[in-house]
Amino acid sequence: MTKKAKFMNLAQIFKGKLKVATGRAVGNNKLKAHGKEDQMMGNLSQAGEKVKDAFKE
């Protein structure tokens, strides 16, 4: 996994966590849902990168 890809995935996960926290604080369920979606996409991308690395070795 390249450092750039790892950083981008972690940034997306962090962005999702911020959205969930903000949505919870202001009572916006739509924002919370978008945050959970961002977290899921970041985790999936990171898992995909790990699979690619496993096949490289």
Q: Is 16 exposed, middle or buried (0-12, 13-18, 19+ CB in 10 A)?
A: buried
The CA-to-CA distance between both ends of the chain, in Å, stands at: 12
Identify the pLDDT of residue 56: 83
The label of the residue with tokens 């997306």 reads: 12
Residue 19, both tokens? 């959205």
Which pLDDT tens digits describe the chain residue by residue (57 residues)? Answer: 688 988 999 999 999 999 999 999 999 999 999 999 999 999 999 999 899 888 887
Identity (one letter) of the amino acid at 9? N
- Rounded distance, CA 33 to CA 20, Å? 7
Q: What's the pLDDT score for residue 53?
A: 86
